[in-house]
Structure 1
Amino acid sequence: MKRDALFNMIEQQIRPWDVSNPAVLKLLHDLPRAGFLPASHQAFAYVDTELPLVIDGVDTGTQLLTPRVVARIVQAVDVQKNETVAQVGLGDGYMAALLARFAKTVTVYELNETILHFAQRNLNQHHVRNVNYELGDGLKLSTEKFDVLVLAGSVAHLTHTMKQRIHVGGRLFAIIGTAGAPTMHAVLVHRVGESDWTQEVLFETIAPALTQSDTRPTFVF
Structure 2
Amino acid sequence: MSYSTASDPAAHALAGAVPDWLIARLQMVDTQIRPVQVSDPRILEAMRWIPRERFVTADRVAVAYMDQNVPLLAGRVLSEPRVIARLIQALMPRGGERALVVGAGTGYAACLLHALNCDVVALEENRTLAAQGRSLLAELAPGVRFHEGALAAGVPEAAPFDFILIDGGVTEIPTAYASQLAENGRVGGILHRRGAVPTAFLAEKQALGLRPRAQFDCAAPLLPELAPTPGFRF
The TM-score, its normalising length taken from structure 2, stands at: 0.80
Aligned sequence identity (%) = 28
Cα 1:117–1:160, aligned 2, differ >3 Å: closer, same or farther? closer
Give the number of the structure whose alpha-carbon radius of gyration is greater. Answer: 2
SS in 2 for 1:212: helix
- Alignment partner, residue 60 of structure 2: 41
In 2, distance between residues paired with 1:141 and 1:26? 29
Which one of 43, 51, 54 corresponds to residue 24 of structure 1? Answer: 43
Which one of 131, 137, 146 corresponds to residue 123 of structure 1? Answer: 137
Residue 68 (structure 1) aligned with residue 87 (structure 2): no
- Alignment partner, residue 165 of structure 1: 180
Unaligned runs of 5+ in 1: 54-58
In 1, distance between residues paired with 2:174 and 2:127? 26
SS in 1 for 2:130: helix
Structure 1 segment 33-182 matched on structure 2, within 5 A: 33-53=52-72, 59-126=73-140, 128-143=141-156, 144-178=159-193, 181-182=195-196
SS in 2 for 1:49: coil
SS in 2 for 1:96: helix
In 1, distance between residues paired with 2:22 and 2:117? 26
SS in 2 for 1:183: coil
Shift of 1:213: 5.1
Which one of 184, 191, 210 corresponds to residue 223 of structure 2? Answer: 210
Q: Which has the higher strand share?
A: 1
The TM-score, its normalising length taken from structure 1, stands at: 0.84
Cα 1:146–1:40, aligned 2, differ >3 Å: closer, same or farther? same
Give the number of equivalent residue pairs: 209
Cα 1:104–1:47, aligned 2, differ >3 Å: closer, same or farther? closer
Query: For 1:114-169, what per-residue CA distance to the aligned partner results, in whole angstroms no more than 9, with x for missing partners?
Result: 1001011111221x122112211132254333111011111112354433331112
Cα 1:203–1:141, aligned 2, differ >3 Å: closer, same or farther? closer
Write the letter of the residue equivalent to 2:222: A
Structure 1 runs (4+) greater than 6 angstroms displaced: none
Q: CA RMSD in A?
A: 2.2
**1:168–1:194 CA contact under 8 A, matched in 2:** no
